[in-house]
C-alpha cells in the first residue's frame, strides 16, 4: 500500500484578496464602533449602512487596491507592504479630513467626527498591517512547498519554461518537475535555470506516489491512452489535474499561444464581447462618458503639454501615426510628441534611456500623459478606452509572420490601456509581443465590465507610480 505525503494546493490570489477584503471590512467596523462608543457614548444600530461609513469603507478598498495591497507575493519585502499600508491609511484619513474641512464639522458628526476618525483609523492601520505581515509570511512558507508535476512533450518544453521563468513574469506559485516523452539533446536555459526532468510519462504513478505534488499540469496536445488512464486515476484520488490552457488562465491570467490548436477560438468558451450587442453598446457608452469626462478634467494638462513640448524642441506638439485597429482597419492615432522631431534613429522600439526622448517626453511617458490625445480616437469610435494596444503597421506585419493567432487581437477595438499594458512592461521585441498577445487574448476571451473596472484601477496605479515608458 502506497502512503502519500499530504501536500497543500496552491492558494488562489483571488482567495487571498477576498480574505484581505473581509479582514479590512471587519477591522473598519470594529474599530470605528469602538471609537464611536468611546467618544459618543453609544454604538449606532445602522453604522455599516450609514453613508458616512460606506464612504470610508469604499475609499479604503479603492485606495488599497490602487496601492496593490490586495496582492501578497512572497518575493515582495514585508516592510514594503507595511509602508504602502501606511500610505493607504494616510490617504483615507486625508480624504476624510478634507471632506470635514469642506463640508464643515457641523455636517460631519458620527464616524466622521475628527476624534472618531483618528481613533478609528490608527488601530485599523495596526490591524491591517499585522494581518498582511502574518499572511505574507504564511504564503511565503506555503508557496515554497508547492511543487507542480508537468507532463510535457519535447516540442512544448522550451516555450513553457521560457514563459514561466522570464524576468517579466515573476512567477510566484512554486517549483516545477517535468516528465517528458523524450528528452531533447539540449535543455532550455533561462535566467540561470534549467528544467529538472524527473523521468518519462510512464513513471507518473510512481513519481506521484513518492513525492509531494500539489498538482499535475498536462502540457501536451497528444495524450496517449495509457497516460489518460493514469491521469484519470490520479484525479479520482484527489490530485489536481490542469490542462495547460486552464493553468495559464487560472494562475497567469494569460492564454498560452504556443499551445493553442487551430480550432481554439471555435471550441473555447467565452468571447462574449464578439457577439454580445448589448455588451458592445455598454462598453461604447462607457467609452464616450469617460473620454468626455477625462478631456474636461484634464483640459489644463492638455494646454500645459502643448506649451512645454513646443518650448523644449522644434516640431508639432501632436504626433500622428497610422495604426492597425478593429478588423485590421488602419487609422490615424494621436499622441503628444515625446521624441525629437528630427531624430535620425529609426528603431521601431523605444529602449531604456533612449536619447530620442525629450526631457518633458520622458515624464509624459512615465505618467502615461502622452496617451491623452487618444481620447479623440475613442470619441471617433476608432478605439476603446480598454483593449489591446494599437500597434504600428510595420510591427503588425512582422508579428503576424512569426506569432500564431496574432490577428485575433484585431477582433476588438484597440485600447488606450488594457490587460497586457497594466500587467506587462513595455514590449521591445518579438518575444515581448508574443507574451503581450497572451494577455490580450485572455482579455478578449474573458471580457466583462468588472474586468474593465479592474484594468482602470490598475491603470491608475501605473500612472501614480510612473511605470509607463
Q: Distance of alpha carbon 113 from its chain centroid, rounded? A: 37
Q: Do 407 and 333 belong to one domain?
A: yes
pTM, rounded to two decimals: 0.84
Q: Do 234 and 290 belong to one domain?
A: no
From 214, 269, 222, 263, select the one nearest 246 (Cα to Cα).
269
Euclidean distance between CA atoms 370 and 77, whole angstroms: 32
- The region of weakest confidence among 142-151, 324-333, 393-402 is 142-151
Identify the DSSP state of 193. Answer: B
Q: Tell me, yes or no, whether 258 lies in a domain.
A: no
Q: Do 150 and 135 belong to one domain?
A: no
**257-289 per-residue burial string, b: 16 or more CB within 10 A, e: under 16:** bbbbeeebbeeeeebebeeeeeeeeebeebbee
**pLDDT(256) > 80:** yes
- Scan for cell 477584503, then name that residue: 21
Mean pLDDT of 108-117: 72
Q: Do 457 and 326 belong to one domain?
A: yes
Q: Tell me, yes or no, whether 437 lies in a domain.
A: yes
**Which range of residues forms the domain containing residue 412?**
272-342+354-464
The CATH code of the domain that includes 220 is: 3.40.50
The count of domains in the chain is 3
Q: What percent of the chain has pLDDT over 70?
A: 87
Domain boundary, last residue among 223, 252, 281: 252
Q: What is the pLDDT of residue 261?
A: 84
From 43, 30, 51, 21, select the one nearest 119 (Cα to Cα).
30
**440-465 per-residue burial string, b: 16 or more CB within 10 A, e: under 16:** bbbbbbbbeeeebeebeebbbebbee
Q: Tell me, yes or no, whether 267 lies in a domain.
A: no
For the ranges 143-152, 357-366, 440-449, the one whose mean pLDDT is highest:
440-449
At residue 2 the predicted structure's pLDDT band, cuts being 50, 70 and 90, is: very low
Q: Do 124 and 239 belong to one domain?
A: no
Euclidean distance between CA atoms 163 and 167, whole angstroms: 9
At residue 1 the predicted structure's pLDDT band, cuts being 50, 70 and 90, is: very low
Q: How is residue 63 written as a grid cell?
A: 485606495
Q: Give 262-296 pLDDT, tens digit per residue.
A: 888 888 888 888 888 888 899 999 999 999 999 99
Euclidean distance between CA atoms 40 and 120, whole angstroms: 13
Q: Tell me, yes or no, whether 469 lies in a domain.
A: no
**pLDDT(103) > 80:** no
Q: How is residue 310 written as a grid cell?
A: 513646443
**pLDDT(108) > 90:** no
Contacts for 368-372: CB closer than 8 Å, 24+ residues apart: 368/417, 368/459, 368/462, 368/463, 368/468, 369/301, 369/305, 369/336, 370/335, 370/336, 370/338, 371/335, 371/416, 371/417, 372/294, 372/298, 372/301, 372/302, 372/305, 372/336
- Scan for cell 517549483, then name that residue: 175
Q: How close are the terminal C-alpha atoms of the chain, in Å? A: 58
Q: Do 187 and 201 belong to one domain?
A: yes
Please give the C-alpha separations between residue 334 and each of 187, 281, 361, 376, in angstroms, as whole numbers. Answer: 45, 24, 15, 8
**pLDDT(344) > 80:** no
**pLDDT(23) > 90:** yes
Q: Do 30 and 51 belong to one domain?
A: yes
Q: Tell me, yes or no, whether 265 lies in a domain.
A: no
Q: What are phi and psi of 391, to 5 degrees?
A: -95, 155
Mean pLDDT of 112-123: 85
**pLDDT(196) > 90:** no
Task: Compare 304 and 208 and report the one with higher pLDDT.
Answer: 304
Task: Compare 151 and 350 and report the one with higher pLDDT.
Answer: 151
Strands 318-324 and 330-336: antiparallel
Euclidean distance between CA atoms 396 and 106, whole angstroms: 60
For the ranges 78-82, 236-240, 406-410, the one whose mean pLDDT is highest:
406-410
**156-183 per-residue burial string, b: 16 or more CB within 10 A, e: under 16:** bbbbbbbbbbbeeeeebbbebbbbbbee
Q: Do 334 and 431 belong to one domain?
A: yes
Q: What is the pLDDT of residue 5?
A: 44
Q: Do 76 and 127 belong to one domain?
A: yes
Euclidean distance between CA atoms 379 and 373, whole angstroms: 11
For the ranges 135-149, 159-173, 299-313, the one whose mean pLDDT is highest:
299-313
Q: Do 219 and 157 belong to one domain?
A: yes
Q: Do 17 and 81 belong to one domain?
A: yes
Q: Strand 175-180's sheet: what is its strand order?
A: 196-199, 175-180, 147-152, 215-219, 241-243
Q: What average pLDDT does the structure give for the chain?
A: 84
Q: Tell me, yes or no, whether 399 lies in a domain.
A: yes
Q: Do 22 and 114 belong to one domain?
A: yes
Euclidean distance between CA atoms 33 and 199, whole angstroms: 59
Euclidean distance between CA atoms 327 and 152, whole angstroms: 35
Euclidean distance between CA atoms 89 and 1, whole angstroms: 55
Amino acid at each position: 500500500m502506497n502512503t502519500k505525503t499530504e501536500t497543500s494546493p496552491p492558494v488562489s490570489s483571488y482567495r487571498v484578496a477576498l480574505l484581505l477584503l473581509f479582514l479590512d471590512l471587519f477591522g473598519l467596523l470594529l474599530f470605528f464602533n469602538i471609537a464611536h462608543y468611546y467618544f459618543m457614548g453609544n454604538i449606532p444600530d445602522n453604522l455599516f449602512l450609514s453613508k458616512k461609513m460606506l464612504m470610508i469603507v469604499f475609499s479604503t478598498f479603492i485606495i488599497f487596491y490602487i496601492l496593490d495591497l490586495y496582492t501578497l507575493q512572497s518575493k515582495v519585502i514585508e516592510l514594503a507592504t507595511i509602508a504602502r499600508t501606511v500610505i493607504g491609511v494616510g490617504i483615507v484619513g486625508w480624504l476624510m479630513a478634507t471632506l470635514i474641512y469642506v463640508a464643515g464639522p457641523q455636517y460631519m458628526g458620527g464616524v466622521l467626527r475628527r476624534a472618531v476618525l483618528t481613533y478609528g483609523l490608527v488601530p485599523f492601520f495596526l490591524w491591517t498591517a499585522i494581518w498582511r505581515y502574518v499572511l505574507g509570511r504564511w504564503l511565503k512558507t506555503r508557496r515554497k512547498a508547492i511543487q507542480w508535476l508537468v507532463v510535457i512533450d519535447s516540442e512544448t518544453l522550451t516555450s513553457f519554461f521560457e514563459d514561466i521563468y522570464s524576468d517579466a513574469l515573476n512567477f510566484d506559485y512554486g517549483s516545477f518537475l517535468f516528465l517528458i516523452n523524450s528528452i531533447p539533446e539540449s535543455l532550455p536555459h533561462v535566467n540561470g535555470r534549467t528544467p529538472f526532468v524527473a523521468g518519462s510519462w510512464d513513471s507518473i504513478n510512481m513519481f506521484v506516489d513518492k513525492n509531494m505534488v500539489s498538482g499535475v499540469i498536462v502540457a501536451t496536445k497528444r495524450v496517449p491512452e495509457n497516460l489518460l488512464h493514469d491521469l484519470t486515476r490520479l484525479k479520482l484520488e484527489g490530485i489536481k489535474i490542469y490542462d495547460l490552457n486552464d493553468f495559464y488562465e487560472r494562475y497567469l491570467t494569460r492564454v498560452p499561444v504556443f499551445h493553442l490548436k487551430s480550432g481554439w477560438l471555435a471550441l473555447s468558451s467565452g468571447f462574449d464581447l464578439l457577439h454580445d450587442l448589448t455588451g458592445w453598446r455598454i462598453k461604447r457608452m462607457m467609452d464616450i462618458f469617460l473620454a468626455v469626462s477625462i478631456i474636461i478634467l484634464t483640459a489644463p494638462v492638455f494646454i500645459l503639454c502643448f506649451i512645454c513640448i513646443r518650448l523644449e524642441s522644434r516640431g508639432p506638439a501632436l504626433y500622428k501615426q497610422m495604426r492597425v485597429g478593429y478588423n485590421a482597419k488602419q487609422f490615424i492615432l494621436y499622441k503628444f510628441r515625446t521624441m525629437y522631431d528630427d531624430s535620425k534613429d529609426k528603431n521601431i522600439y523605444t529602449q531604456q534611456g533612449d536619447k530620442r526622448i525629450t526631457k518633458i517626453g520622458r515624464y509624459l511617458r512615465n505618467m502615461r500623459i502622452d496617451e491623452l490625445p487618444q481620447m479623440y480616437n475613442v470619441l471617433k469610435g476608432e478605439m476603446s478606452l480598454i483593449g489591446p494596444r494599437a500597434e504600428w503597421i510595420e510591427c503588425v506585419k512582422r508579428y503576424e509572420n512569426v506569432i500564431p493567432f496574432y490577428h485575433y487581437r484585431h477582433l476588438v477595438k484597440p485600447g488606450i490601456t488594457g490587460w497586457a499594458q497594466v500587467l506587462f512592461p513595455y514590449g521591445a521585441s518579438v518575444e515581448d509581443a508574443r507574451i503581450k498577445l497572451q494577455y490580450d487574448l485572455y482579455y478578449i476571451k474573458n471580457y466583462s465590465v468588472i474586468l474593465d473596472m479592474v484594468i482602470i484601477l490598475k491603470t491608475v496605479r501605473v500612472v501614480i507610480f510612473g511605470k509607463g515608458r
